[in-house]
């Protein structure tokens, strides 16, 4: 969710920046952009489509998730010289570190799960069970790199309930930067 907002805000800011300079907005010259789709499809199947989410066994979902993240990592590495991409790369690395240290999934605390689902639903979730699309329920005292886990929540006034990590914030910042002031545009402020 925060990535989508960052992308939209980055496009608007990039368009406004280009317009202020009297030129048309020019998208960043991404190489191997097909890797974005190749990385997203496995996540779509194992995490976001309700029809397949529950059918895919945990071990296969985990392999698909990591394959997807490694494809994104390759894409970012190929494009590492573009503005914002090093920031995106740093955010992805933060997420990979915490996930690798916690069994491959992004850890989320029972407290945050309760804030997302409500106490009545969350109390039936077992520690160690999959939660949401890519998370696993872990007590904070049992988490490795807890500061990097899905510990932030969208504001209470938001209709959409989700948790996100420090890595997600860094990724969103990199996406905004990439789209707001892409390579090739005048770098004067």
pLDDT in tens, 133-157: 788 889 999 999 999 999 999 887 8
pLDDT of residue 183: 54
Q: Which residue from 149, 156, 147, 148 is spatially nearest to 115, judged by alpha carbons?
A: 156
pTM: 0.87
* Residues 136 and 174 placed together within one structural domain of the fold: yes
Residue 178 within a domain: yes
100 pLDDT higher than 60: yes
In angstroms, how far is CA 161 from the centroid of its own chain? 15
Structure-block tokens of residue 56: 């895919």
* Residues 60 and 132 placed together within one structural domain of the fold: no
Residue 182 within a domain: yes
* Residues 65 and 109 placed together within one structural domain of the fold: no
CA angle 71, 76, 78 (to 5 degrees): 95
The pLDDT of 35-47, averaged and rounded, is: 89
At 121, is the pLDDT very low, low, confident or very high (cuts 50, 70, 90)? low
Number of structural domains the chain divides into:
2
Structure-block tokens of residue 125: 């979730």
The answer to whether 17 and 180 are in contact (CB under 8 A) is: yes
Residue 83 within a domain: no
């Amino acid at each position: 969710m925060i990535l989508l907002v960052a992308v939209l805000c980055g496009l608007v800011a990039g368009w406004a920046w280009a317009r202020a300079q009297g030129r048309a907005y020019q998208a960043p010259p991404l190489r191997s952009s097909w890797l974005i789709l190749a990385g997203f499809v496995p996540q779509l199947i194992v995490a976001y489509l309700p029809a397949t989410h529950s059918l895919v066994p945990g071990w296969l979902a985990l392999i698909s998730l990591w394959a997807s993240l490694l494809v994104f990592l390759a894409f970012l590495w190929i494009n590492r010289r573009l503005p914002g991409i090093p920031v995106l790369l740093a955010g992805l690395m933060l997420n990979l570190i915490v996930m690798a240290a916690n069994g491959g999934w992004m850890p989320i605390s029972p407290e945050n799960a309760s804030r997302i689902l409500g106490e009545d639903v969350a109390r039936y979730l077992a520690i160690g069970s999959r939660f949401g699309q890519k998370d696993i329920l872990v007590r904070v005292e049992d988490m490795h790199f807890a500061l990097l886990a899905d510990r932030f929540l969208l504001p209470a006034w938001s209709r959409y309930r989700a948790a996100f990590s420090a890595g997600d914030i860094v990724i969103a910042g990199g996406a905004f930067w990439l789209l707001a002031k892409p390579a090739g545009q005048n770098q004067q402020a």
